[in-house]
Amino acid sequence: MSPRTPPGKTRDQIFRFVRDRLLDGFPPTVREIQDAFGFRAVQTVQAHLERLVTEGRLAKQKGKARGYTLPTGTPERPATFFVPLLGRVQAGDLNAAIEDCEGYVAVQQRGTELSRTRLPQEGSSAHHHHSPSQGALFALRVRGESMTGAGILPDDTVIVRSQPTADSGDIVVALIGDEATVKTLRIQRNQIILQPENPAFDPIIPEPDTCTILGKVIEIRRYL
């Protein structure tokens, strides 16, 4: 029999082990934990895991292999999913651009977008299509210096939530003619103004029906 450890200490180490494995994307089995700690009985591990669950530090799916997870919805591990990084957006055809994207970017669910939570159980249905419907996310590389005043530099990546309208003051991606552009949206007297955040650029007041709002920028990233 292995030497006794102070109450709670082994359990704490087990928790970290499991947590690390979960963050690595590969949940451990009870026997893997057993081996890692050198226990000679599975039950030892299960007792610890059971307590970790009752303490709320872990969640489990009964009977499932590798069924331990971090409790859902905790800031410890927000849901993560992939959004397509679009190369160029041609006139209106967002669907095509999404099908034919440059790659995918990992985005984490944030507090305000609880609506589109995707639980592991729901999964993706078999014939699920990426669609730029209301609420879908995509990523876009920024061109030009028109938004430097808002801390958006050329070559930054913006994460965009598709929506046909936005509030005044939101940073949006709009399609003017054939080109997608990032600007601050201003609405004055029912008129749409696309406002650059750089004194060297002039506001754009698009003719009606020549401008489509693709969505609202919800995140900005820069890779150095």
Give me the active site residues, please: 146, 183
Place of tokens 């698009």: 206
Contact 218, 139 (CB under 8 A): no
Residues that contact its own copies, how many (by CB under 8 A): 62
Q: Where are the beta strands (DSSP E) in 49-204?
A: 59-60, 68-69, 80-86, 103-108, 137-141, 157-162, 171-176, 179-188, 191-195
Among DNA, its own copies, none, the one that 76 touches (CB under a kind-dependent 5 to 8 A) is its own copies
User: Could you tell me which residues are beta bridge partners of residue 18?
Assistant: none
Compare residues 126 and 200 and give the one whose CB is closer to its own copies: 126
Q: Does 115 bind its own copies (CB under 8 A)?
A: no
Smallest CA-to-CA distance from 216 within 144, 101, 134 is with 134
- Taken as a whole, the chain contains a residue count of 224
Compare residues 58 and 173 and give the one whose CB is closer to DNA: 58
Among its own copies, DNA, none, the one that 222 touches (CB under a kind-dependent 5 to 8 A) is its own copies
Contact 76, 56 (CB under 8 A): no
If 0-12 CB within 10 Å is exposed, 13-18 middle and 19+ buried, where does residue 7 land? exposed
Among its own copies, DNA, none, the one that 11 touches (CB under a kind-dependent 5 to 8 A) is DNA
Smallest CA-to-CA distance from 40 within 2, 78, 81 is with 2
Compare residues 66 and 130 and give the one whose CB is closer to DNA: 66
Give the binding site for DNA (CB under 7 A). 1-2, 4-11, 29-32, 39-44, 46-48, 51, 60, 62-67
Q: Which of residues 117-136 bind its own copies (CB under 8 A)?
A: 118, 120, 123-128, 130
Phi, psi angles (nearest 5°) of residue 19: -60, -45
Among DNA, its own copies, none, the one that 80 touches (CB under a kind-dependent 5 to 8 A) is its own copies
Q: Which of residues 192-211 bind its own copies (CB under 8 A)?
A: none
> Using CA atoms, how far apart are residues 155 and 138, in angstroms rounded to an integer?
16
Residue 8: CB minimum distance to DNA, A: 5
Place of tokens 């103004």: 193
**DSSP symbol at 86:** E
Residue 175: CB minimum distance to its own copies, A: 20
Q: Does 168 bind its own copies (CB under 8 A)?
A: no
Binding site for its own copies (CB under 8 A): 13, 16-17, 19-29, 32, 36-38, 65-66, 69-70, 74-82, 102-108, 110, 118, 120, 123-128, 130, 148, 151-153, 156, 171, 217-224
